[in-house]
Amino acid sequence: MAGSQLTTIAHMVAAGIGVSIVPHMMVKHQETPGCVSLPFAPPVPERELNFLHNPLRFQSKAAAAFHREAAALLSGDDSSTADEVKS
């Protein structure tokens, strides 16, 4: 079973087309009639996230600032300006 949208995948499961593994965030915020959510038993699988962008396209100042923040946070770099922005 393949699908690009989590909602579409959930509706396919509800229709009896198959089963799927979805992020907890989706289950937490969206109930789909006909679907039952079962959490994983420990050890719970982890999900690696990546920041995706096109370096050949123009970035606004806001997008560039977001890119810098995301890169710092995702890399574990302590030079993030997130605390400075809050003040």
- Between the alpha carbon of residue 87 and those of residues 5, 23, 48, 66, the distances in Å are 37, 33, 30, 17
Q: Report how far Cα 86 is from the mean position of its chain's Cα atoms.
A: 24
Q: Report how far Cα 46 is from the mean position of its chain's Cα atoms.
A: 12
**pTM reported for the whole predicted model:** 0.52
Which residues in 1-87 belong to E strands, given as ranges?
A: none
In tens, the pLDDT along 32-80 reads 899 998 888 899 888 777 777 788 888 889 888 988 888 888 777 655 4
Give the model's pLDDT for residue 2. 54
User: Largest Cα–Cα distance of the chain, in whole Å?
Assistant: 51
